[in-house]
Amino acid sequence: MSRFEAVIFDLDGVITDTAEYHYLAWKQLGTELGISFDREFNETLKGVDRMGSLERILELGGRQDDFTVEEKEAFATKKNEHYVSLIQDVSPADILPGIEQFLKDLRVAGYKIAMASASKNAFAVTNSLGLNDYFDHIVDAATVVKSKPDPEVFLKAAEAVGVRPDKCIGIEDAAAGVTAINDAGMYAIAIGADEGLSHANIVLRSTESLTIDVVRGI
């Protein structure tokens, strides 16, 4: 064991590539609303909850004041329907490289393992991946009041596994998520090539580099 006792994972874009499906589902809704956006703008949606993402897209199109709360809720539901249809076939084959071995090694080494995802689909996706048993706790996104970059979801995960934040490592693929980890007082590992991740303690290009040796070395 290193000085850390728990590892807290984001889901979308860290454990599996569902970040891509969120992007495609938002893009489809955007097309229906006449608002188009690219992958660069999508980086600002990563880690942000459903309603928060919708608000950002409406703002991009200058349409933030055009709809009632009920209409906005209907748009968010529609995006989720697109998303749910895209994740129907998610299976253990969709676990990103190295992740299952990393989870196994963390277990054997005695680390607590938790998930801090903004997604209300997190339980379903983790179940489809066959990974539920590795997690001591998965935060229910419906209980989180403040979306990433607020640290709330990471702090809830740490509390649930009974580990002080400064003894936790958080793993994220989103800039907002790295900010959340930092503000929770945890050690941040970012996954990806995006320049916006440089506020993490370390940045790894891919999950293949995420090994127990990295954790032992910090």
Q: Where do runs of H (alpha helix) occur along 34-174? A: 39-43, 50-60, 69-86, 99-109, 122-129, 152-161
Q: Which does 117 bind (CB under 5 to 8 A by kind): Mg ion, ligand BG6, none?
A: ligand BG6
- Number of neighbouring beta carbons within 10 Å of residue 86: 16
Q: What is the DSSP letter of 208?
A: G
12 binds Mg ion per the rule CB under 5 A: yes
- Number of neighbouring beta carbons within 10 Å of residue 165: 20
Binding site for ligand BG6 (CB under 6 A): 11-12, 19, 22, 45-50, 53, 80, 117-121, 141, 174
Comparing CB distances to ligand BG6, the nearer of 78 and 107 is 78
- Going from the C-alpha of 116 to that of each of 15, 81, 128, 158, 184, the distances in angstroms are 12, 22, 17, 9, 12
Comparing CB distances to Mg ion, the nearer of 125 and 160 is 125
Q: Considering CB under 5 A, how many residues would be counted as binding Mg ion? A: 5
DSSP H/E element including 23: helix 18-33
Q: Of 8-16, 102-110, 162-170, 187-195, which segment contacts Mg ion by CB under 5 A?
A: 8-16
Please report how close the Cβ of residue 95 comes to ligand BG6 at its closest, in angstroms.
Answer: 16
| 213 belongs to the catalytic site | no
| 10 belongs to the catalytic site | yes
Binding positions for Mg ion, rule: CB under 5 A: 10, 12-13, 173-174
Which residues are the active-site residues? 10, 12
